Amino acid sequence: MPSQQIELARMANLTRRRFLSYFSKAGLSATLLPGILWARLQEEKELRITREMLSQAEDLAGLDFTEEERDLMLNGLDELLSNYETLRSVAVDNSVPPALNFDPRIPGMKYASGQKTTRVNRTSDVQAPKNLDDVAFWPVTDLGHLLHTKQITSTDLTRMYIERLRRLDPKLRCVITLTEELALQQAARADAEIAAGKYRSPLHGIPWGAKDLLAVAGYKTTWGAMPYKDQTINQNATVVQRLEEAGAVLVAKLTLGALAWGDVWFGGKTRNPWNLEEGSSGSSAGPGSAVAAGLVGFAIGSETWGSIVSPSTRCGVTGLRPTFGRVSRSGAMALSWSMDKLGPMCRTAEDCALVLEAISGPDGEDTTVADIPYQWDAGRDVTKLKVAYLKSDFDREREENQEWRQFDFDSLDRLRSLGIELVPIELPDYPIEALSFILTAEAGAAFDDLTRSGRDDQLVRQIENAWPNVFRQSRLIPAVEYIQANRVRTMVMKAMADLMADIDVYVTPSFMGNNLLLTNLTGHPQVVVPNGFKPNGSPTSISFVGKLYGETETLALAKAYQDATDFHLKHPAL
């Protein structure tokens, strides 16, 4: 510890000793009137915390102390302020997690055992078109077949996607950095390996895009925010490294709303390819837009509270928010250590399954990642799954009587037509919205230096509902309230464990009720798939929520739904 910090700590301890010494040296008892004690302390030291300040803080916290209680608190509060200042002299990088780890698992729950397994659909009738641009919207499963059977090369596929990125990005504003040099190197390597009979994975040779909160060595990692637009992090995030090991080809770092909120970044607003009048939603704005527009084979996004579900819905792509602790976040920007998750955004549920297989599992870096095997079977019989639906949320949708809400009811009917029995359930009855400041408190800590340095005024969005204002508000969240909120969170987690004990997956409107926030707090996986189009041309979606580490069942049900519909096969004209 630097000598200045040691001296500050010594002075803080000295103040505490002086406080106690007043009783012995002056012959005073512990029952002395607080007012007299206050006067003695004032003689020794002028405190920065006053009675008036404390009284105002009480109003903010919803508390009410007496004058005597305030007098007893002031010296300790002044010491706390000194401690805060001492700790602020220690540089803490965004990559440093707190000493407390969130674990969504409840004691007594059982999970899959054994090794990772993957069983994919084998396609033999897929033929390469004469115009390679025609495969831009093809799923990973089909692209992989073309590459594996040497009908096309990864280099040609990569050049095609790079050309589309260059041509369409001026309309969509979904790219922060093209990684062309790296992409062509990786594609050439993939071609050589496939030609030699070395096939790494179903992703071998497939071009993909990374949300620009993932570090890539040799390229900027901007987090979509002006204060970090020139930032370089000299490492590969675990997800980036694992996709490279799987043979995938990184073609672009894609936009995110600044510091993972919304679709506005330092270069503008990312657009919805279906309706250029709309933003693509966020914060995984670039991944949603790029996948929907056929600019990449798949992308990696992140979610803390809807950042995969929302842009996947707006842009009509299939998104997977995995279980908390399924995918390492090492090398990714931290926003909320107990809520952040990385996941794939693709054209189909099976594509998501194949990407998850490549990126999941412990890495020795992110200590929240559980060693629970992921086992994908594309041929799983979904009629044997126990499936439920959130009855009150669907009923509420029916009452609102909006034209596009009917798509959700049609989705339920489609699932029933597959031989799936749907059981009505309700989510645990807790004040979920009131727990949302858990995210705010952690985000404020993640970007504390940005707030205290005043550099937050460089962020593009400076409105009430944007990070600069919310970070400032987070400074006034009491630690006790944060801990109490997490205790209620534990109660919600236990209630969800009881609810999910008898079901494998439940179906829900993507944005109705408390499901989205609740499941982000409890860590449950969610798959969102397109299920229709609004009158203005923008897609709609339906969501499937599974057990903790139950992505296999959740994706299998989503795949069965997509096999019976064609919404995911449509794409914007552009």
First to last CA, the chain: 58
Burial class (CB in 10 A: 0-12, 13-18, 19+), 58: middle
d(CA 282, CA 223): 13
Q: Which residues, at least 6 apart from 75, have a Cβ–Cβ distance to it below 8 Å?
A: 15, 19, 41, 47
> Nearest-5° angle of CA 286, CA 291, CA 294?
120
> Nearest-5° angle of CA 329, CA 550, CA 525?
50
d(CA 425, CA 392): 8
Burial class (CB in 10 A: 0-12, 13-18, 19+), 571: middle
More confident residue, 77 or 40: 77
**Residues 427-446: tens digit of each pLDDT:** 999 999 999 999 999 999 99
Q: Which of 14-23, 254-263, 408-417 has the lowest mean pLDDT?
A: 14-23
Is the pLDDT at 21 greater than 60? The verdict is no
For the record, the structure tokens of 149 come out as 């059977």
pLDDT at position 402: 80
In the predicted model, what is the mean pLDDT of residues 418-425? 98
Q: How confident is the model at residue 14 (pLDDT cuts 50, 70, 90)?
A: very low
Q: How confident is the model at residue 39 (pLDDT cuts 50, 70, 90)?
A: low
Q: How confident is the model at residue 31 (pLDDT cuts 50, 70, 90)?
A: very low
**Residues 517-571: tens digit of each pLDDT:** 999 999 999 999 999 999 999 999 999 999 999 999 999 999 999 999 999 999 9
In sequence order, what are the beta bridge partners of 177? 253
Check: CB of residue 409 under 8 Å from CB of residue 424. no
Residue 132: what residue type? L
In the predicted model, what is the mean pLDDT of residues 450-474? 96
Q: Which of 34-48, 240-254, 488-502 has the lowest mean pLDDT?
A: 34-48
Check: CB of residue 507 under 8 Å from CB of residue 420. no
Integer angstrom CA distances of residue 246 from 141, 208, 235, 335, 357: 14, 12, 18, 27, 10
More confident residue, 494 or 116: 494
d(CA 17, CA 44): 12
In the predicted model, what is the mean pLDDT of residues 311-322? 98
pLDDT at position 9: 46
pLDDT at position 108: 87
**Residues 134-167: tens digit of each pLDDT:** 999 999 999 999 999 999 999 999 999 999 999 9
In the predicted model, what is the mean pLDDT of residues 222-251? 98
If DSSP codes are grouped into helix, strand and coil, which group holds residue 287?
helix
Is the pLDDT at 28 greater than 60? The verdict is no
In terms of phi and psi (left: phi > 0; alpha: psi -120 to 50; beta: otherwise), the region of 413 is alpha
pLDDT at position 92: 95
pLDDT at position 404: 83
Stated pTM of the model? 0.90
Is the pLDDT at 229 greater than 70? The verdict is yes
d(CA 542, CA 537): 17
Is the pLDDT at 505 greater than 90? The verdict is yes
Is the pLDDT at 24 greater than 50? The verdict is no
Q: Where are the alpha helices (DSSP H) in 218-347?
A: 238-245, 285-292, 309-315
More confident residue, 7 or 227: 227
d(CA 300, CA 143): 18
pLDDT at position 189: 98
For the record, the structure tokens of 499 come out as 């609810």
Check: CB of residue 280 under 8 Å from CB of residue 236. no
For the record, the structure tokens of 56 come out as 């105002």
Check: CB of residue 253 under 8 Å from CB of residue 169. no
Percent helix, strand and coil across the chain, each to the nearest 5: 45, 15, 40
pLDDT at position 118: 77
Is the pLDDT at 294 greater than 90? The verdict is yes
Is the pLDDT at 124 greater than 70? The verdict is no
In the predicted model, what is the mean pLDDT of residues 408-413? 98
DSSP state of 293: T
Q: Exposure string (b/e) for 440-452, b if CB count within 10 Å is 16 or more?
A: bbbbbbbbbebbe
Percent of all residues in the chain with a pLDDT value above 70, rounded to a whole number: 92
pLDDT at position 45: 66
CA dihedral 241→213→356→560, nearest 10 degrees, is -150
Residue 535 sits at φ, ψ, to 5 deg, of -60, -30
For the record, the structure tokens of 285 come out as 């704005």
pLDDT at position 123: 65
All structural domains of the chain:
3-88 (no CATH), 134-364+381-430+480-569 (3.90.1300.10)
Burial class (CB in 10 A: 0-12, 13-18, 19+), 384: exposed
Is the pLDDT at 261 greater than 90? The verdict is yes
Residue 294 half-sphere exposure toward CB, CA atoms < 13 A: 22
pLDDT at position 530: 98
- Mean pLDDT across the chain, nearest whole number? 92
Residue that has been written with the tokens 């990692």 in this structure: 221
Is the pLDDT at 25 greater than 50? The verdict is no
Is the pLDDT at 205 greater than 50? The verdict is yes
In the predicted model, what is the mean pLDDT of residues 395-406? 87
pLDDT at position 40: 54
d(CA 364, CA 469): 36
pLDDT at position 114: 80
Is the pLDDT at 390 greater than 90? The verdict is yes
In the predicted model, what is the mean pLDDT of residues 50-65? 92
For the record, the structure tokens of 403 come out as 């034209």
Check: CB of residue 457 under 8 Å from CB of residue 468. yes
For the record, the structure tokens of 267 come out as 């270069």
pLDDT at position 311: 98
